[in-house]
Structure 1
Amino acid sequence: MRWDFASARAGSTSSHDPSDSSGSFSVTPITPVIHRWDVVIQDEEQYQERQYPTPEDLPSCMSLMDEFFMCYALVPQLRNFYRYGIPRDCTWRWKDFKYCLSLKSEPQERRVEGSSEDVWALREKPLENFPPLYPEEIQSDEVVQ
């Protein structure tokens, strides 16, 4: 919540009457101005920054290759063998590196296209009888099972 004190001060009046011997001030209360829309937009931007990766957050192929080779380094392998009795499995790091290389070899138009896993078609009009009616909402004598 943000308070706009500059405009609130401009609206407040304090008067001091020099002829008043008691020295009291009369102050009108300051009404805060709340910018709800700004707060909502700021919260949404912070939420999306945390949720969606930016290009700076995505690893490069070189960093993925470094992680792959560091996984097979002697000390991490010995530590894993000591703790669990088996060497460390680094195949998923190799798959990440390989995927990065395959994306780099694709042309720019292909990289920004939709995935082959995008199988949903955009619906132009709503489905008929959706959502389905419950049996007590049906006017006829038949009961839907």
Structure 2
Amino acid sequence: MANTAFQNAVKREEEYLRLVHPTPEDIPGCMNLFDVYLSCNAIRTQVKSLYRYGQMSSCGDKLEDFKFCLTMKMMHPEEKRDAWIRRRAEWWAKRRMTKSSEDVWDIRSEPLKNYPPPLPAEEAQVETGVIQ
């Protein structure tokens, strides 16, 4: 069941990526991927990651993208595009099917009852400025 759901997700992602990258020239080149890898390792990026997440940024996936691009150098441009789209579709499908930081929140269909709680009479008098 899970494998079928994953394959369906990959198929949907491939369809979308084929629309986004209609020609082989639309996929990123190896130099572009290398630049992305280097910028991931830059001090500014690492400090921002340390501030936001409490840990250094992992750039291994960007290095793997660069190495994958190098393995495709001798392929025909259409084959290269297909291989790139397949790889990115699998990456997006995995990302969509696993847990996310957005999974922490549950969307409410109705507001909480009795929230905010009513103020005690003394606090209500102080806030409104009316003291009896």
Flag the structure with higher helix content: 2
Same fold (TM over 0.5): no
User: RCO (CA 8 Å, sep 6+): is it higher in 1 or 2?
Assistant: 2
